[in-house]
Amino acid sequence: MSYKPKSVFRLYTDSNIDDTCRVELFKPYTLDACGFNSSHPLAIIIHGWSVDGMMENWISRLASALKSSEGSINVMIADWLTLAHQHYPIAVQNTRIVGQDIAHLLRWLEVRCICLGAHISGFAGSNLAVSGKTLGRITGLDPVGPLFEGMSHTERLSPEDARFVDAIHTFTQERMGLSVGIKQLFAHFDFYPNGGSFQPGFLCCVHLTLGFEQTVKCAHERTVHLFIDSLLNKDKQIMAYKCSDNTAFEKGYCLDCRKNRCDTLGYDIKKVRTGTSKRPFLKTRSHMPYKYFTFLITLDTDIGDLMIMCFTWEGSPMWAKMWSMLKTMIPWAKSSRGPQLTVGKITVKAGETQRKTAFCPQTDDGMYIEPSQEKVFAVKRRERSSSRSRG
């Protein structure tokens, strides 16, 4: 075979995750020497544009998480640093070359593949499709927007590039007039943690002195950490919910899991191909493990089943004082209750289990609440998860 790739492929060894072994295209003895197992799936980690020409630490951490979590898996890095350490527009053009390199590699290996990268994986998938082969899965980790946003599906990652395509968007707000991460939907599932913009706990994203490049690096790495979290904390998988936008999600309108309206973020996602892209939203903590244990009331630990809850109308103290003075001054006002809220029932729905719990007032007058007043509600019954959500 005369094709000579410009990328370097290195397989992570089982003996030491910091060690890699170079696999040379069309030379089978390098596969044997590196310990490649053709009966195991292959995960290819693809880095992005490089500012300093150095391999970033998150790559080895992601490789280690994949190896420790899955065990029987080949993990490879597609090293294209010499092509990536260029001016950004040139690096974007080079992504087509790297996509061709990876396509040639996969035709040669003929294995099941998961690609952890974005637009390069898309180019690899489209190149493979010419020969009638299809990538198993592509996961875009905070795919970049400049020179890709708004382009044709042949010029970026798209759902046609693999049997299943998912993406995690963590930094889509504009910086210096550019949208750093791509905003548009381009996968079967496009996840938007914390609205897809500012991520909690990432202090470097607000330090202007660190510069544009460092800001991009921070935002990108949060996506990788979320994916690593899904591998290392199998008992704390994060659920995301399809919603029209983050505002509606924050108001609690999107807890429904029927008809594949929710899915798990990260490695263990339920691979559901749909005609249109789904846009799930979710909230995370500022550090690993990133999972919150409820939806609107987000907690670091699981508090178990709710049995009672206190409901308080946080009325204005000044208004309450004025009402008290008014009742003193006007005789007929003494018998008046003033403004009231009427609460017949409170329903709480847990996003993880989809189980709903109904709470009713403990006392007969409990359904009427005045400003600055607190009422206690107790469990009435547990409703079936298939019943209609009240948000």
117 occurs within a structural domain: yes
Considering the domain architecture, whether residues 13 and 161 belong to the same structural domain is answered as yes
pLDDT over threshold 80, residue 322: no
In angstroms, the CA 246 to CA 253 distance is 10
Largest CA distance in the chain: 100
Of 252, 282, 312, the residue at which a domain comes to its end is: 282
The C-alpha angle with vertex 314 and arms to 308 and 317, in degrees rounded to 5, equals: 140
Question: Which of the two residues, 335 and 256, has the higher pLDDT score?
Answer: 256
pLDDT at 210: 40
Does residue 320 or residue 68 have the better pLDDT?
Answer: 68
Decide if pLDDT at 149 tops 50: yes
φ/ψ bin of 111: left (φ > 0), alpha (ψ from -120 to 50), beta (otherwise): beta
**222 near 211, Cβ under 8 Å?**
no
Structure tokens given for 287: 């550090």
Cβ neighbours of 242 (radius 10 Å): 18
Spatial distance between the Cα atoms of 168 and 150, rounded to a whole number of angstroms? 18
Burial of 364 (0-12, 13-18, 19+ CB in 10 A): exposed
Statement to judge: residues 268 and 308 lie in one domain: no
Could you tell me if 362 and 277 lie in one domain?
A: no
Question: 216 with 247, same domain?
Answer: yes
Q: Return the structure tokens found at 33.
A: 């020497």
Q: Would you give the DSSP letter of residue 238?
A: P
User: 190 with 311, same domain?
Assistant: no
- pLDDT at position 207 over 60: no
Q: Could you give the number of structural domains in the chain?
A: 2
**Where in the sequence is the domain holding 41, given as residue range(s)?**
8-282
Q: Is residue 12 part of a domain?
A: yes
Q: Is the pLDDT of residue 151 over 70?
A: yes
- Per cent of the chain over pLDDT 70 is 82
Task: Give me the amino acid identity at 161.
Answer: D
User: What does the alpha-carbon distance between residue 185 and residue 183 come to, in Å, rounded to a whole number?
Assistant: 7
Q: How far apart are CA 369 and CA 282, in angstroms?
A: 32
Q: Is residue 98 assigned to a domain? A: yes
CATH number for the domain spanning 51: value is 3.40.50.1820
The reported pLDDT for the residue numbered 302 is 81
Q: Is residue 2 part of a domain?
A: no
Please state the rounded mean pLDDT for residues 368-390. Answer: 65
Q: With pLDDT > 90 as the criterion, what percentage of the chain qualifies?
A: 48
| More confidently predicted of 309 and 323 | 309
What is the average pLDDT value for the chain, to the nearest integer? Answer: 83
If asked whether residues 106 and 151 sit together in one domain, one would say: yes
Extract the tokens encoding 93: 């053009």
Residue 217 located in a structural domain? yes
Same domain, 264 and 313: no
Based on the domain organization, do 245 and 314 belong to the same domain?
no
- Do residues 157 and 221 both lie within one domain? yes
Examine residue 239 and state whether it is found in any structural domain, yes or no. yes
| Size of the chain in residues | 391
Supply the pLDDT for residue 385: 46
Predicted confidence band of residue 387 (pLDDT cuts 50, 70, 90) = very low
Question: Does any domain span residue 43?
Answer: yes
Token pair for 285: 């903590």
Averaged pLDDT for residues 366-372: 72
**Pair 253, 305 in one domain:** no
Q: Which residues of 316-334 are buried (b: 16+ CB within 10 A; e: fewer)?
A: eeeeeeebeeeeeeeeeee
Round to whole Å and give the CA distance between 45 and 141.
10
Query: Per the domain annotation, does 332 fall within a domain?
Result: no
Residues 276 and 315 in one domain: no
pLDDT at 212: 46
**Would you call 146 exposed, middle or buried from its count of C-beta atoms within 10 A (0-12, 13-18, 19+)?**
middle
pLDDT above 60: residue 153: yes
Residues 257, 313 within the same domain: no
